[in-house]
Every structure is written in structure tokens, then in C-alpha cells.
Structure 1
């Protein structure tokens, strides 16, 4: 069973009515995020695409490698530092959808409030209503 006694089918219908679609992307080999001076390469990522109100958001988890980009000098060496992504509280999509529907905020704002309240639904709703 899903959230609060709902079956996965019921949850999918509720999210569809709210205009939220979620899809796990299969076969993704790596994700690269480029900055002015470095790039993050996330290997073997778990990527979820979330569509809401015409906007698409991607949630990425995996092992991060940081590469410092070299300047124009061919003698510059590229330094690679490996680190695991900081563990993050897993916020179920159902919880974020419920908080968003109860407070009128977007899904990302609801997820952030849930993270700040360590997943406490009531506290997140109260926080957003203030």
C-alpha cells in the first residue's frame, strides 16, 4: 500500500489529477553538471523526471566525481576528487504532493519544507501556512 492506505494506482491517479507526473529514467550512464571552474560527474545515477505545471524537474542521486577544469595552458593538470553525495532525507513523492496540495505551493517548495522538518507532514504544512 502507498501513502495513508492508498494503493499505488490510487496515488498515481491523485498525482495525475494534480498535474504531477513522475518517471524513473532507465539506462542513464552519467550526469555532468558544469560550472565555470569545475564539473561534477555523477556515475551510475538514479534519475527521476518530475513534470508539474508544464515544468520538468530532475532528481539525481549517485556517486559524484569532481573535476577541476584546466585553464588554457596545456601544462595544467586536471585534479579529480571523488566523494559520495551527502546523504539526504528521502522525501516520498506522495508526501510532497500532499503538502503541496494542502498549502498551494509547488512541489519543490513542499519537498524543501519536508526536508527542513525531517519529513514531518504536519510541521511542513504549518511551516508553509505561516
Structure 2
């Protein structure tokens, strides 16, 4: 909340301005991912401030930052039609599902087959 205001006074003031305040309880962690780093806020206080047109999310707590290693982009992975056909036949799925699984696994055939079989419950 805001310092100097009781929660009740703040809710009344916001209501007069056409805003609704909603506190979210039991939040364990908030993570924000940027291109090169991740911001983590443990045990935060989270409040939604809603207006007619949008919702503002206020997160209060101590944060820490971690640098992220650059992950290979999905577009950089080259997948052959033979790989797609093989994964589709082994996992018993369509060629499109096989292609998607290969992209998600960055071309790793075994990982793609295992993920697809796991989804199907085989």
C-alpha cells in the first residue's frame, strides 16, 4: 500500500477516482524476464488497481537480478523433412506436431519424441 494512508482511506479515495483496488494474497514469487536478465521478487505484496480501461499491477518487495545466457533462437534451428517424418512416425503424431516438437527441442530428435509420447500418455 501507500505510506501515510490506511488501507480503508486509500480504497475510498481510489473508488472516488473510479479505480478499484484488489490485493492478491499468498503470492510466493514474481519473475520478470527481459532479453538479457531475469528480475525475481520473493514474497512480494501484489495489488491490482483496476480502471474501466486497464489494470495496473503494483509489485512491492526486495528484488534480485540474474543475467540470462543467450538462448539459441528457434528460427536458427534447421530441421530436415526426414527428421520430421521420423519423429511423426515414432511418436504417432502429425507432421506439424512433430515439426513443432523438434523446434521446441531445438532439433533434438530423442527429446522431441519423448515429449510427444509423454503428451499422449504412451
TM-score computed with the length of structure 1 as normaliser: 0.44
TM-score by length of 2: 0.46
- The structure in which a higher percent of residues are strand is 1
Higher share of residues assigned helix: 2
Which has the greater radius of gyration? 2
